[in-house]
Chains A and B, each alone.
Chain A
Amino acid sequence: MNIFRLTADLMHLASIFILLLKIQKTRSCAGISFKSQLLYALVFITRYIDLFFYWVSLYNTLMKIFFIGSSLYIVYLMQVKFRATNDPVLDTFRIEYLLAPCALLALVANYAFTAQEILWAFSVYLEAGAILPQLFMLQRRGEAETITTHYLFALGAYRGLYLLNWIYRYWAEGYVDWIAWIAGLVQTGLYTDFFYIYYTKVLKGQKFELPA
């Protein structure tokens, strides 16, 4: 564990708490893409299935349980409890165009042709693109509540910090993980536009609005 990875994991945790806070406080999931949240639930389930047969540490296990549990809880909140506030009209990204290529890529580019490795690779590829429905929805709405932008910032920063963690681990331990590295770069890259507007608007006290 190093400071980059710890901070990254804490940012990831924070992003989920911010999202839960947004939904509970406003009693609404307006502006949140259900499709992205569904994809995250799928990401966590396919990656952390090793929870049952691979022990790393108590920290690792508790985090895995939290990520699976909270993602399913958010799906429940959006689909059942606050269903009326969900706006599927704006959530129009075609996730099959994401799921199919990720599945195909996982079958071709993996560390071993075993169910566990294929599922792991799939989860890493899917995570890289899982934010796309959310960013697409943001684009269509043209604006976002400030708390939603904090959620997106924390979520984007998490993978960005992992890049620093990987540089550090390569230098300190000779650790190499090409699949996670390339997917992590893509994932962080998708946030560039968002980070720019977050920095120039939200951090200066303005509303998050996209140019018309």
Chain B
Amino acid sequence: ALGSPVKDEL
């Protein structure tokens, strides 16, 4: 699976 991007957005 693709890694999850950092969730720093709203």
Contacts and interface: CB of A to CB of B under 8 A. Distances in A.
A50 B10 contact: no
Interface of A: 5, 9, 12, 50, 54, 56-57, 60, 63-64, 67, 111-113, 117, 120, 162, 165, 175-178, 180
A63 B10 contact: yes
**Interface SS of chain A: helix, strand, loop or mixed?**
helix
A50 B7 contact: yes
A111 B9 contact: no
Contact of A12 (B2, B5, B10): B10
Interface of B: 1-5, 7-10
Contacts of B10: 9, 12, 60, 63-64, 67
Contact of B3 (A57, A67, A111, A162): A111
A170 B5 CA distance: 12
Q: B3, B5, B7, B10 — which one has the most chain A CB atoms within 10 A of its CB?
A: B10
Contacts of B5: 111, 175-177, 180
A177 B4 CA distance: 8
B1 A60 contact: no
Contact of B2 (A5, A64, A67, A178): A178
Contacts of B7: 50, 54, 56, 120
Contacts of B8: 56-57, 60
Contacts of A60: 8, 10
Contacts of B4: 111-112, 117
